[in-house]
Structure 1
C-alpha cells in the first residue's frame, strides 16, 4: 500500500504534551486523510483519523482505521513524518 504524505506538523502545547498531524493519501483511495496525534510524554500515542477536506468513502476510512491498529509500520511512518516536522521547525 503506497502512502503519499502531503503535510505534517508537530508541536508541544503549554503543558508539554505532543500534538501533531499528518495529511496523506493512499494508493487506490480518492480521499485525503488526516491523522492527528497526541502524547503526554512522546511514548504512548493516541490518534484520531478523519478525512482531510471533503468526505470520502466511509468503508475505506474504516478499513484504514483498522489497518492502523494492526500495521505498526504504517502508523510509525505517519507519526515519524509529524515528529520529523517538529525537529525541522526547532
Structure 2
C-alpha cells in the first residue's frame, strides 16, 4: 500500500476480550494521522473505530478515510495484518 504508512501497531489477546488491536497510520494527501482500534472474538470479523491520532482535525477528512476503509477491503486487511503481525505467536 503506497498511500499508507504504518506508524505503530499492536495486538493483544485475552479470553475475556478476544483480540484487540491498535494501528496508528497516516495516508498520503491527508494532513492528519489516524488511529484505528479493532476487535474480534475469533479473528474472522472485525469491528473497528477510527480516531484522530494526536489532535482533532477536519471531521470530513476522518469520514473520507472511514469511507475508504469501508470500501477498500485490501486497505482494511492491510491495517489489520499490521496489528496481527505484532500478536504474540502463542495466540495465532
Q: TM over 0.5: same fold? A: yes
In the other structure, the counterpart of 1:54 is 55
Note if 1:74 corresponds to 2:75: yes
Q: Which runs of 5+ in 1 are unaligned?
A: none
Aligned residues of 2:12 and 2:88 also touching (Cα < 8 A)? no
- Unaligned ranges ≥5, structure 2: none
Deviation, 1:13, is 2.3
Greater displacement, 37-46 / 12-21: 12-21
Moved over 6 A (4+): none
TM-score of the superposition, structure 2-length normalised? 0.89
RMSD: 1.8
Please state whether the residue corresponding to 1:85 is helix, strand or coil: coil
Q: Tell me the residue number matched to 1:35.
A: 36
**Number of residues paired by the alignment?**
90
SS at match of 2:21: strand
Q: C-alpha distance in 1, partners of 2:13/2:19?
A: 5
TM-score normalised according to structure 1 size: 0.91
